[in-house]
A = this chain, B = another copy of it.
Amino acid sequence: MVPRLGPLKLKAQIFCGDEPAMGPGKADLLEAIDREGSISAAGRALGMSYRRTWLLVDSMNRCWVDKLVDTTPGGGSDKGARITPCGKQVLAAYRALESRLLETADAGSLDALSPLLREKPLPPS
């Protein structure tokens, strides 16, 4: 999810060339894979289609120096997916970036905007 701070929504995306390599959705997916131990379970937990989930994982795995998600194919007790060390590093650095950006917004950057905002929009004209 795109992080919010009061009236502010802040979406940080990291691009590899023209390809989005990390962003709010991919970071949430990495965390869900870490929690669920499976790519398809992670997608289900986030309400994403199977196809979209795999496309995001494939994209993440092609944009960084190492893959972010590792899968063990087959049906043994080892099967499933896990976040690689590179994946943990990228995820932590991305969450830290988001936090620092929100801290900046919190440290006075919204003070000139918030008082000018209505509580609710007027009805459409």
Contacts and interface: CB of A to CB of B under 8 A. Distances in A.
A112 B96 contact: yes
A9 B13 contact: yes
Nearest to A17: B120
Nearest to A63: B121
A104 interface: yes
B16 A118 contact: yes
Given A62-B125, A118-B63, A118-B65, A11 B14 contact: no
A45 interface: no
A64 interface: yes
Interface in A53-102: 58-59, 61-65, 86, 89-90, 92-94, 96-97, 100-101
Contact of A12 (B10, B65, B124): B10
B97 A65 contact: no
A96 to B, nearest CB: 7
A56 to B, nearest CB: 12
Q: What are the nearest 5 A-B pairs in CB distance? A: A93-B112, A62-B122, A104-B104, A11-B11, A62-B121
Given A62-B122, A93-B112, A104-B104, 13 more contacts: A7-B16, A10-B101, A11-B11, A12-B105, A14-B117, A16-B117, A19-B121, A21-B117, A62-B125, A63-B121, A65-B118, A93-B116, A97-B110
